[in-house]
Structure 1
């Protein structure tokens, strides 16, 4: 969310950035709306001041026996009271309109974010690992899982409908092992504090990280006005909402392994087979809260944390910098990690690492007290998948498959699997 004062002082740069993100040039409209609000505030203040002054004059008039003047002043106060009520309503209306307009606008990209409209314009950052050389035609994860009798989409459809899965036996244990391995790595090696978060949150919490109001259709909403989280970025980032953090305690780094829920409203017909695009999935999320000077470097550090997971698992991947048109609503810059899937013969996203600057902090009113000069400033927030557990399971299955359909367990996961080296039918 933006500060209207900043927009007023940087109107040209603001419009240029919004156009690049596919939005309209709106600085003039926003400034005009704010000017109208300021005029109403001034009128309201003048009416309040006159009411207060007239109220004092009533007492003086009555004290001097000038009943006629007292009655005239009382009539004026009555009129002012009505004008003040109308003015307060008008001011609230204009402030709400301005807030609604500001909250619908996407964040401004960093200067080094590549131009472009969609994923075809993303820029390769680097690659890691060698693709497995298989002497047979590799299968996709759902073919492997169904042949093992441990990946059941039919039963899931009976329980919940499409885009759900039931994992059984060793595949279920493998999914759990992957999540535990990830969270342990981030805690023990990457300096994150583990947090267990609610998966139902209030509307203002979803607003804070930018899911509302723009992306309401992509989330699940309950009858009592709560939302199932699309990612634990939402509750983790909101831990600092409506607070002033001691700057000396930054950066704050937290991680969670949680269920996540997405309605996938805009993905009809995409990835209908298998586990790639599910309504319910498990993900390890990393969130960092920093001061205003550290967020760019922190994003690079977080990217390394996510990459370390895939490197330990031996999963080939590439990192791309998202172009302006492909970035998320709240992000200033995003790196995507895409894992190689032999069954699909392509790279697929397994993690996104984004810096949001103070965009989310303004929506949450999350600030910190600078240790150097004691001033209060908005924090900077970052989030990243560390990584998506279901998609990592897919990557492990496809990269470690054998010709007979078995799945070799990566060595780092074997302690979590009771020493099991292979999943076989």
Structure 2
């Protein structure tokens, strides 16, 4: 949600930020609605004050036996007018809020111009893609040949974009999630949190998933939502609170199932596990002060990079351009892992700062050193998407015979297994 005071102070700057995202100008229309609402509220306040004054005069006249019928008629008339003004103010407020809640966050000045992912900027690359003495295969070719990745059964059970993992591949996916949690809690200072995967409208709205992305999420018959990411319950856990400034930054991490309808993704990544309706992800969330949020964004991104570095998977950090930055984000770094089977870099993590955009929607604040309440800044990042990391491990650690070497850091989680082979 946007700060209307900031729009009043710099309407041209507000529209210029929207233009960077390809959005039309709205400032003047919003300012007109705001002017009319404030006029209605002012008129209402004046009538309320007049009504109080008249009520006192009527009381005095009744005590003295004077005729107060004219003033009583004025009070009755004022009541009807006050109801009209209140309805008018509420309607205008709803129009303003309805417009603001559908507008994306304002972008950081460092976000590059561009319409889509082709304009994203590489910040740095870590690791060199492995040279294979054979033609590397894609993960689904490896998994199916091992007899441990079953899309046919999943399709019979649930339809397209699901998978059944078996045996050592199922264990490898579990090992990856445990490894990530241990790293983020043991070395990176995050508090492990187990969260519900069903949330209410308020949690989805507060984390900017509603109303914009309703068609990309699954909803239950009782009106709750399956979470698209643990960002939703982790961030919304501070909704409506005023946190002591001394407890910030607050860093939370969760491993959860995530659910996305993948609306608009028809024809994209239809083979394999890359784009699923249900997947596992380790999510990091930070709640911090405005002064520390930029440094926290860098820190969070480094925490995600550490996972890939310890796994020995080549990756690159990308700064997303204006047209590719998500609705709620002011700035986003994507981490892309090298997938030799695809011969391509593919996103495996997004780390975003939303500044106070989410905090305003869910009224999450902290108490400053001066004792005043102020909106927190919220950040979220994948640390990492477990299924996509499984893909990256399989493709980067594949052997000529179709087996998969287990990275050193995962072997303790795999009971010492060094190589995954067909049964």
Q: TM-score range by the shorter chain?
A: over 0.9
Question: Superposition pairs for residues 116-195 of structure 1, below 5 Å?
Answer: 116-195=114-193
Give the equivalent residue in structure 1 for 2:46.
46
Give the equivalent residue in structure 2 for 1:395.
392
Pair 1:209-2:197 in alignment: no
* Per-residue deviation, residues 173-202 of structure 1 (Å, max 9, x unmatched): 110000000001000000000111111111
Query: What is the SS of the residue equivalent to 2:237?
Result: helix
Pair 1:26-2:23 in alignment: no
Give the equivalent residue in structure 1 for 2:77.
79
CA distance in 1 between partners of 2:98 and 2:85 (Å)? 20
What is the Cα deviation at residue 134 of structure 1? 1.1
Question: Superposition pairs for residues 403-418 of structure 1, below 5 Å?
Answer: 403-418=400-415
Question: Superposition pairs for residues 13-412 of structure 1, below 5 Å?
Answer: 13-67=13-67, 70-371=68-369, 373-412=370-409
Which residue, out of 406, 419, 424, partners 2:421?
424
What is the Cα deviation at residue 15 of structure 1? 1.0
* Per-residue deviation, residues 68-102 of structure 1 (Å, max 9, x unmatched): xx222222222222222222121111111111111
CA distance in 2 between partners of 1:53 and 1:376 (Å)? 35
Query: What is the SS of the residue equivalent to 1:294?
Result: helix
* Per-residue deviation, residues 296-321 of structure 1 (Å, max 9, x unmatched): 11111111100100111111111110
What is the Cα deviation at residue 172 of structure 1? 0.7
* Per-residue deviation, residues 46-86 of structure 1 (Å, max 9, x unmatched): 2212222222222222222223xx22222222222222222
CA distance in 1 between partners of 2:395 and 2:97 (Å)? 47
Give the equivalent residue in structure 2 for 1:11.
11
Query: What is the SS of the residue equivalent to 2:257?
Result: strand
CA distance in 2 between partners of 1:34 and 1:224 (Å)? 36
Query: What is the SS of the residue equivalent to 1:94?
Result: helix
Query: What is the SS of the residue equivalent to 1:293?
Result: helix
What is the Cα deviation at residue 266 of structure 1? 1.4
* Per-residue deviation, residues 197-237 of structure 1 (Å, max 9, x unmatched): 11111111111111111111111111211111111111111
CA distance in 2 between partners of 1:59 and 1:155 (Å)? 81
CA distance in 1 between partners of 2:167 and 2:333 (Å)? 35
- Number of residues of Structure 1 aligned to a counterpart in Structure 2: 422
What is the Cα deviation at residue 165 of structure 1? 0.7
| Gaps in structure 1 of 5+ consecutive residues | none
Cα RMSD, aligned residues only? 1.0
CA distance in 1 between partners of 2:43 and 2:224 (Å)? 39
